[in-house]
Amino acid sequence: MGRNTILLQLITVHLHLKLPDVEKNKHVFYTVNGGDGMKISIIEDADIQETEVVIRCGKVDREVEQIIATVQAVGGKITGTKDGESYKLDAAEILYIEAVERKTFLYTENEIYESDKRLYMLENELRGLSFFRASKAIIINLRRTRSIRPEIGSRLILTMDNGEKIVVSRQYAGVIKNVLEV
């Protein structure tokens, strides 16, 4: 597999890395081992106004696509309502989304929120962020899946991080298997 390098230019992002002390407005360059032959380089520069992610790779493969999806998920927000209040939810918090009787619900580990958007609209918004159809009424976040089990009739049973079980219909099981490489 080719060597992948991520170059992050950060200004106000708080990192869990101990960077060397420097004067204000000076550039800081820091490299960490990302594992699996991957190098992560971080440049902190007070003159930069927005965070930019550059991925250098020999070929866009499955690993690079996962990196892209992970970076995109960082800023992904979905609005949900609960008890008359609106909440901005990180896409990564959502376990699955379900349409029931013309209403759309967002399920997190401990809470259920309602969305005013239709399921297909949320599917389009979350495209590329590890969200996939499990059935006509459910979209799942594969990053929040604990286990997978084949079921009779070419279906799958996914156990989510909160222990809930989701049935993946035959129509969508092939895509899920392909993505999970099982």
Taken in order of first residue, the domains within the chain and their CATH numbers are 5-59 (no CATH), 78-180 (2.40.50.1020)
The answer to whether the CB of 32 falls within 8 A of the CB of 17 is yes
Radius of gyration from C-alpha coordinates of the chain? 19
What's the predicted TM-score (pTM) here? 0.62
Task: Look at 137 and 73; give whichever has higher pLDDT.
Answer: 137
Distance (Å, whole) CA 44 – CA 9: 6
| Neighbouring residues of 35: CB distance < 8 A, sequence distance ≥ 6 | none
Per-residue pLDDT tens digits for 150-165: 988 889 999 999 999 9
CA–CA distances in Å: residue 125 to residues 30, 120, 154, 180: 34, 9, 28, 21
| Neighbouring residues of 102: CB distance < 8 A, sequence distance ≥ 6 | none
Over residues 135-141, mean pLDDT:
95
Task: Look at 148 and 3; give whichever has higher pLDDT.
Answer: 148
**Does residue 141 surpass a pLDDT of 70?**
yes
| Neighbouring residues of 89: CB distance < 8 A, sequence distance ≥ 6 | 77, 78, 79, 80, 106, 108, 113
Per-residue pLDDT tens digits for 91-117: 889 999 999 999 999 999 999 999 998
Starting at the edge strand that comes first in sequence, how are the strands of the sheet with 103-107 ordered?
A: 85-90, 77-82, 112-115, 103-107, 96-100, 138-141, 131-135
Quick one: which of 53, 7, 51 has its CA closest to 30?
A: 7
Residue with tokens 């081992």: 33
The pLDDT score that the predictor gives to residue 30 is 57
